[in-house]
Structure 1
């Protein structure tokens, strides 16, 4: 193998490493963009609690963020194993931050989902709680009359 070929290989490897880093960065950017907007999680137009919870549950969908994160991790891992990155600490930190954000959103979605199924049952329990409307009122009136 000639010296020129080795030089070309180094140049090609450098280009591939740059492209791999760009792929990781692009996937991370797409993942962040796929996450819910903060205002969508915070604001609501709902008329009641269940409506607010349903809206929040919908807003807490991570969409394609998990797929983009997977792509970023795939290219990052390949680049790291190939020792293609001079400094990959920033990419690794951003991947961890994104994983944490996705985990937090997914956990919040689970909690909201639980509330969404609990609140209607709680409302029914509260509506059924206490004395029955007519019969209890009549019994209370009769007791008062006897005294």
Structure 2
């Protein structure tokens, strides 16, 4: 039962259930695609729905399906060590789903760099400039 519960939470995360980490990615992708093309946003949303159906079907077959190998009938549930291995993943999945700002802030500079190379009209939200001081120009971030 413990493995099935952990697998369910991670499946819901993959589907993009709100309050889990997959939701943030799906919303940001759909939002970005919708700005560019409503047609491709519809295709992306359709893919999300099909992916969710597949993941639910996968969960149903793996957790509630018939056991086809007799050796698997007496498998034990997760041990305490195995459960504690999953705890950080579960905490991160919920943390990113509820408060993604620290992770998105960390990505912002890289995304701005990519966007400015791809789209010459792109202006970062928070433009930052490096100014030379009296020591001289900065080289590779070191003085």
Q: What TM-score comes out, normalization by structure 1 length?
A: 0.29
Compare the two structures and name the one with the higher helix fraction.
Answer: 1
TM normalised by structure 2 equals: 0.29
